[in-house]
Chains A and B, each alone.
Chain A
Amino acid sequence: SAVISQKPSRDICQRGTSLTIQCQVDSQVTMMFWYRQQPGQSLTLIATANQGSEATYESGFVIDKFPISRPNLTFSTLTVSNMSPEDSSIYLCSVVLGYEQFFGPGTRLTVL
């Protein structure tokens, strides 16, 4: 199995600011995924982060709003830029190890 940690676990931010979320995995993985889970909703994939190349974004998500870094095979960051209250959500990173997909504990973001 994979052990995934995320920082911060939660934050309350003012609109217009940015927050960078860190994800650390205890195994080397090719792809890391970033998801968003809005209140009462299921998970939506934001982007796939590959080491050594640009992240691949899903429809409705853009790099300017959600820049991603992937400096090595065990670490990634997601930045939520120029935040608005609509960005209030749980952000989860995820990896595939073997046939199973594992999720980090999530970062609970509230934008005022």
Chain B
Amino acid sequence: RKEVEQDPGPFNVPEGATVAFNCTYSNSASQSFFWYRQDCRKEPKLLMSVYSSGNEDGRFTAQLNRASQYISLLIRDSKLSDSATYLCVVRGNTGKLIFGQGTTLQVKP
């Protein structure tokens, strides 16, 4: 079993749609959680950190459920510019980042 698992995608949605990505992690001792965005042929960049209380940044909402070891990312009112690969990332108890395989989102006009 992979340490961080994500919906494989790809997700193809029209502009304006709401889309949700899910992620599960296997190590209950994991300490920090993130969503990174990676554009084609570019390096990953931090989109947002994920907290147990849930957090929102504009059209993006991230949720963490420690009991279920589950992380989600919700994107509302999708834009063409949201097209990218979204990486679920977990910092384990060793301090290292562990990356999920990524979920590809394609927003179409």
Task: Give the distance to chain B from A22, nearest Cβ to Cβ, in Å.
Answer: 16
Query: Do most interface residues of chain A lie in helix, strand or loop, or is the interface mixed?
Result: strand
| Chain B, 61-109, CB within 8 A of any chain A CB | 87, 96-97, 99-102
Candidates B43, B46, B96, B101; contact of A100 at CB < 8 Å: B46
Q: Is B42 an interface residue (CB 8 A)?
A: yes
Contact across chains for B43 and A104 when beta carbons are under 8 A apart: yes
Q: Is A41 an interface residue (CB 8 A)?
A: yes
Contact across chains for B97 and A103 when beta carbons are under 8 A apart: no
| Chain B, 1-58, CB within 8 A of any chain A CB | 41-46, 49
Q: Is A62 an interface residue (CB 8 A)?
A: no
Q: Which residues of B contact A109 (CB under 8 A)?
A: none
Contact across chains for B97 and A45 when beta carbons are under 8 A apart: yes
Q: Is A105 an interface residue (CB 8 A)?
A: yes
Q: Which residues of A contact B49 (CB under 8 A)?
A: 99
How far apart sit A62 and B46, CA to CA, in the bound complex (Å)? 29
Contact across chains for A106 and B43 when beta carbons are under 8 A apart: yes
Q: Is A101 an interface residue (CB 8 A)?
A: yes
Q: Is A53 an interface residue (CB 8 A)?
A: no
Q: Which residues of A pack against B, CB within 8 Å?
A: 41-45, 48, 92, 99-101, 103-106, 108
Q: Which residues of B pack against A, CB within 8 Å?
A: 41-46, 49, 87, 96-97, 99-102
